[in-house]
Amino acid sequence: MDPNLIKALAKELAGKVNRVVDIPLIKEEDEEAFFELVILMLLDILFSKLGGRFKAA
């Protein structure tokens, strides 16, 4: 899958998660960067497990 597409998806999902979850004493920008990193790792694991069964159009 296209890495730019995965990064865009992670950024969008991180924004949505950040609006719902608040971590006290952490700046909003840092929270979103944290969520984006976690989501990127999860997407990487997900797509690597799907492997050959998943083909981008």
pLDDT by 10s per residue, the chain, length 57: 678 888 999 999 999 999 999 999 999 999 999 999 999 999 988 888 887 554 443
Residue pair 7/40 in contact by the 8 Å Cβ criterion: yes
pLDDT at residue number 2:
77
- Predicted pLDDT of residue 44: 87
Q: Where are the domains of the chain?
A: 3-50
Q: What is the DSSP string of 3-50?
A: HHHHHHHHHHHHHHHHHH---TTS-HHHHHHHHHHHHHHHHHHHHHHH
Can you give the pTM of this predicted structure? 0.79
Q: What is the pLDDT of residue 56?
A: 47
Spatial neighbors of 54 by CB under 8 A, at least 6 apart, are 1, 47
